[in-house]
Chains A and B, each alone.
Chain A
Amino acid sequence: MAVRVQTEDFDAGAEISRMRLSRPDIGAVAAFIGQVRDLNNGDQVSTLTLEHYPGMTEKALESIVEQALQRWDIFDALVVHRVGALKPTDQIVLVVVSSAHRGEAFAACEFIMDYLKTEAPFWKKEQTPAGERWVEARSSDEVAKKRWKKKASSV
């Protein structure tokens, strides 16, 4: 299990290969990449700046990955999240999960992203032609997280 918060870019292909080759009983690797969009709420975005809470961020991400490892039959999970000033098409976040079969890897990867969106202390500020503004939290992200609670209670 690894969690990294960094300003520099990451090589998703290299990270995926490293995990895929880490043990021969891996049959599935699921990965998610989040990318900076050039448009938000109808306005052009030229720069997206990510602030975080050093110390708490790493603990929050580790806790989320730990929950995924307990809940699904997965071998390993990696989260890399960037902070600082980013431009459209820059990568923001990478999640990679390995397991024996695809179902567990897909589910755990999505769970990690849904929890990261609502529990990890990152905040985005975007630069638009009208000036700077903080990005508002989306209620759809809370809904996405709650799905996992319903599934847990029905199992």
Chain B
Amino acid sequence: MQITVLYFARLKESLKYSTEEISLPESVSNITSLKSHLASRGGAWQEMFSGRQQVRAAINHALVTNDAAIKAGDEVAFFPPVTGG
């Protein structure tokens, strides 16, 4: 399935990507498996998505936990803990 993935703040800088369209293999169905999929790209991707960094996720503009399911056409975003205010 095809999804859009967005990266913000430290992730955007480290990965040198702000957004991309990804075709996911069938094995990727939730945030945890998407993180593993991205970590398998190696380098900065592994550094950001292998669990050493705190990474929050949102699906279609709502904060979600790692077990949240991903559907075709979703907008998934990854970012560090927020620091506004």
A interface residues, Cβ below 8 angstroms from B: 34, 50-53, 55-56, 59-60, 81, 92-93, 113, 116-125, 134-137
Contact = CB atoms under 8 A, between A and B. Distances in A.
Contacts of B9: 51, 123, 125, 134
Contacts, number: 72
Interface string B44-85: 000000000010001001110000000000000101111111
Contacts of A137: 54, 80-83
Contacts of A119: 63, 82
Interface of B: 6, 8-10, 54, 58, 61-63, 77, 79-85
Contacts of B81: 118, 136-137
Task: Give the secondary structure class of A's interface.
Answer: mixed
B12 to A, nearest CB: 8
The 4 closest A-B pairs by CB, nearest first: A122-B84, A137-B81, A123-B9, A56-B61
